[in-house]
Structure 1
Amino acid sequence: MTGLVLRLAAPLQSWGEHSVFSNRDTLRFPTRSGLIGLLAAAQGVRRGQPLHDFDGLRFTVRIDRPGVRMVDFHTIGGGRERGVPTAEGKQRSQETATMVTRRQYLADAVFTVAVEGTAHRISELAEALRRPHWHPYLGRRSCPPDQPLLLRDNVDDPVADLHQRVPLPRRLREGENLSVEFVTEGLADQAEAVTELADVPESFNRFDRRYRTRTVSIAAHPIPRRLCLAGSEFWESLAKYVKEGK
């Protein structure tokens, strides 16, 4: 097994798990379905195509900056079969019918993700991320990622890199130690929280989306002080980490 390391950062991200049409939620960390969607877009996998090639991947998420949850609303529709009621209790015509949807986002969040898989599969994904067929996005098409997205590929132990090598955008006070939350698949030892998510995609077909459940563990782990940097020091350290992997 080998892996790659991704950095997911953007003004807005959204990682829905049980969204319905008029109310789109977001979890506080990337979902498996969202991460597979990002990789599938880069590879040019069309909706409705089999997703078996992604089953063997394992994801570990480090929550570098949780961001701020925000709710936006969109007025959509017009020409829908079901009309929208007016203040007078009547129905708008199909040509003018609209609906309001509420959509949740994470603003200014940052995550570092370790993706583990076979060497051949990781090489395929790394090549796709360097030359994406469709532009990757962070949960929704309106949320393109900042660069760099792919930090390293063919990493022997990408999870260890999250713990010991990838810099974290945080300035510590004198004497302060930092613990960062990690989201891992399965039931982890000393997990502080364990939950089940319906985010394992079986089909991204527009009219037949199907998901399985998985167990996820969340636990805080200490991060070496040397990894916690801010400003130009952080970007220089991140560039050094990327360059050393080439």
Structure 2
Amino acid sequence: MAATQPSLWDLEKPRKVPVSITVEAKKKKKMVRGKTQMKRIENATSRQVTFSKRRSGLLKKAFELSVLCDAEVALIVFSPKGKLYEFSSSSPSKTIERYETNSKNMGVHKRTVEQNIQHFKEEIATMSRNVDLLENTKRKLLGEGLESCSTDELQQIEDQLEQSLSNIRARKNFIYKERITKLKEEEETLRRQNADLRKRLEVKSLTLSTVQQDIDPQQKIMEVETQLFIGPPERSPH
């Protein structure tokens, strides 16, 4: 039998692609390269290819950083075989010299900071010991924690207490004397004020007596005869 020729209708119909092939192609498109593990590449060829690619990218990034940000950048890379690759936005020697100067200054500053920290630590430790000593002395002066004290220490504490009592009594006597002196001054002020008032009163009494003596006797009689009469009026005789 002769093979049948495809008709025009068959040629115009879309060809069907197997489903398995289509899914496999989509999977390949969606495949993403996994994260590179940070460890030494064992294969020498792969290691060299990776070095070349990463070196080029690193040099490019250094150039972009210097141009875009106006930064001074110096990059030095040695290959596994010892070949030098470098990039510098100005001069490698000047950048290295600047780095060394800055590192030296940072080292001096760091040493200064460390010395200051050590000094502060020592001061804190000394102050802590002094505080503990003062607290211990205070407790002993209050009569606490005397079990571990020797006879000499107890005698020393007693002498300190006696000296403290003597200072307290002296201060109290001084305050009393100041109060007595102030009260005496106030008393003297009141005495002077009282004497002044007494003199003013005597002057006023003398003035009043003199005025009474100068009054006219006739005026006194008139004042005596002029009296107020209360009652019905008297009838006149016919």
Fold match (TM-score > 0.5): no
TM-score, normalised on structure 1? Answer: 0.16
Higher strand share: 1
TM-score scaled by structure 2?
0.16
Structure with the higher fraction of residues in helix conformation: 2
